[in-house]
Amino acid sequence: MAKKRILSGMRPTGKLHIGHYVGALENWVNLQDDYQSYHLIADYHVLTTDLNTDDIYQNTIEMLIDWLAAGLNPEKSPMFRQSKIKEHAELNLIFGMLISVNRLERNPTLKDQVRDLHIENIIYGHLGYPVLQAADILIYKGNYVPVGEDQVPHIEISREIARRFNNQYGEVFPEPEPLLTNFARLSGLDGNAKMSKSLGNTILLSDDPETVKAKMKKAVTDPNKVRKGDPGNPDICLVFSYHKKFNPEEVPEIDEGCRSGELGCVDCKMRCSDKISAFLSPIIEKRKYFEEHIPEVLDILHLGEMRAKEIASATMAEVREKMKIG
Ligand code: SF4
């Protein structure tokens, strides 16, 4: 039986951080054996919140290198730029006719973004973000989309659009389903629920051990544990949440040492830094290889784009035929 198809993507914002890995990339790597995985570099989506494209090419390459270094296999998982496959834009235009402005305005993810990014005037493209996302998924007839809970409303819009198209013109698209597997969030070093480069609270996948240590020194802990000897509460400590992810075997001992006061925060942070660096070490090594072999990285991208283009063209031919246009 043919494997089901997954479509997932990220905006190219440059080098990735451990939050990207834990929240998405690790999952993608684990899923690539069981599904046909297509990975989109969402460079049009960047424009919804940032019109400056000066760094977009370099950011694309940096992100692609991180994807490869983290273990995405280009043989199994084609990686491609959204802007290189013109069919995304064409299907986006058609899908824009199949959904009302009211429906898009009710999208809770949009409301969250407007609040978090302090957006006063929403641009048309931002309102239509889920429509382009539907085109991104459905042009490849994606069956599943690995997402976090916050993205589920977008997938619901994709399902509605697929249904509407199929009812109006005949069956072309599957109704994609969210794949909510193993998604975890890592908070930023400052305790902010979101790890983000713009907030300056990240550990990058490419950070060397000294940089990781320097960043971890500033990480927030239980504020009531001021010095070694003070009992702490690991349940409210950010560093402890990192231990759980990167140092699970020592968690019981750290929990006990923190509560008894025997373990000081400085030691605890350094132990955590070492574990994070040990985890990052093979990624950094692979990253170095790809940094030194950029033509190989570009070949991977071009090959991925050829494979994506083939499927997207076939889907659009089917769409045009059903619609009796073009
Ligand atoms: S000892 Fe470790 S777990 Fe406890 S508060 Fe300090 S950094 Fe956090």
Query: How confident is the model over 11-28, as pLDDT tens digits?
Result: 999 999 999 999 889 999
Report whether pLDDT(296) > 70: yes
Does 53 share its domain with 110? yes
CA-only gyration radius of the chain, Å: 22
The best mutation among 213, 218, 220, 221 to test binding of ligand 1, ranked by most ligand atoms within 8 Å of the C-beta, falls on: 221
Give pairs for 98-104: CB < 8 Å, separation 24+.
98/161, 98/164, 98/165, 98/168, 99/131, 99/157, 99/160, 99/161, 99/164, 101/127, 103/157, 103/160, 104/128, 104/130, 104/131, 104/157
Query: Which of ligand 1's atoms lies nearest the C-alpha of 265?
Result: 6
Q: Quote the pLDDT of residue 182.
A: 60
Report whether pLDDT(154) > 90: no
CA 23 to ligand 1 centroid distance, Å: 23
CA 193 to ligand 1 centroid distance, Å: 18
What does pTM read for this prediction? Answer: 0.93
Does 261 share its domain with 315? no
Q: Is the CB of 273 under 6 A from ligand 1?
A: no
Report whether pLDDT(148) > 80: no
- Tell me if 305 is assigned to some domain: yes
- Tell me if 196 is assigned to some domain: no
Least confident of 175-189, 270-284, 301-315: 175-189
Q: Is the CB of 240 under 6 A from ligand 1?
A: yes
Q: Is 291 helix (H, G, I), strand (E, B) or coil?
A: helix
Does 30 share its domain with 177? yes
The letter for the amino acid at 230 is D
Residue 165, Cα to own-chain centre: how many angstroms? 28
Q: Quote the pLDDT of residue 181.
A: 62
Q: Which of 310, 318, 236, 247 is nearest to 84 (CA)?
A: 310
Q: What average pLDDT does this structure show over 105-124?
A: 81
Q: Which residues, 6 or more positions from 47, have their beta carbon under 8 angstroms from its beta carbon?
A: 53, 125
Distance CA 26, CA 267 (A): 28
- Tell me if 246 is assigned to some domain: yes
* Tokens linked to 133: 């996302």
Does 146 share its domain with 220? no
Q: What average pLDDT does this structure show over 71-77?
A: 94
Does 33 share its domain with 103? yes
Over pLDDT 70: what percentage of the chain? 99
- Tell me if 273 is assigned to some domain: yes
Q: Which residues, 6 or more positions from 276, have their beta carbon under 8 angstroms from its beta carbon?
A: 18, 203, 212, 216, 242, 246
Does 169 share its domain with 233? no
Query: Which of ligand 1's atoms lies nearest the C-alpha of 240?
Result: 3
- Tell me if 194 is assigned to some domain: no
Q: Is the CB of 221 under 6 A from ligand 1?
A: yes
Q: Is the CB of 222 under 6 A from ligand 1?
A: yes
> How many degrees, rounded to 5, is the angle at CA 154 between CA 130 and CA 101?
50
Does 137 share its domain with 259? no
Distance CA 98, CA 165 (A): 7
What is the per-residue pLDDT across 206-263, written as a single tens digit (0 to 9) for each? 999 999 999 999 999 999 999 888 999 999 999 999 999 999 999 999 999 999 999 9
Which protein residue's CA is at the shortest distance from atom 6 of ligand 1? Answer: 265
- Tell me if 201 is assigned to some domain: no
CA 209 to ligand 1 centroid distance, Å: 20
Does 45 share its domain with 123? yes
Distance CA 15, CA 59 (A): 7
For the chain, the domain total comes to: 2
> How many degrees, rounded to 5, is the angle at CA 137 between CA 135 and CA 139?
60
Q: Is the CB of 239 under 6 A from ligand 1?
A: yes
CB atoms under 10 Å from CB of 313, counted, come to 14
Average pLDDT, the chain: 93
Report whether pLDDT(127) > 70: yes
Report whether pLDDT(111) > 90: no
The best mutation among 187, 218, 233, 237 to test binding of ligand 1, ranked by most ligand atoms within 8 Å of the C-beta, falls on: 237
Cα distances (angstroms) measured from residue 164 to each of 97, 102, 156, 159, 176: 10, 16, 12, 9, 13
* Residue range of the domain that includes 225: 207-287
Does 227 share its domain with 133? no
Does 148 share its domain with 12? yes
Q: Terminus-to-terminus CA distance in the chain, angstroms?
A: 34
- Tell me if 200 is assigned to some domain: no
Q: Is the CB of 237 under 6 A from ligand 1?
A: yes
Does 256 share its domain with 122? no
Does 180 share its domain with 103? yes
Q: Could you give phi then psi for residue 67, rounded to 5 degrees?
A: -60, -45
Distance CA 47, CA 303 (A): 25
The letter for the amino acid at 155 is I
- Tell me if 199 is assigned to some domain: no
CATH number for the domain including 243? 1.10.240.10
Least confident of 112-126, 129-143, 311-325: 112-126
CA 282 to ligand 1 centroid distance, Å: 27
CATH number for the domain including 306? 3.40.50.620
The best mutation among 213, 224, 239 to test binding of ligand 1, ranked by most ligand atoms within 8 Å of the C-beta, falls on: 239
What is the per-residue pLDDT across 26-63, written as a single tens digit (0 to 9) for each? 999 999 999 999 999 999 999 988 899 999 999 999 99
**Using 50, 70 and 90 to split pLDDT, how confident is the model at 180?**
confident
Q: Quote the pLDDT of residue 183.
A: 58
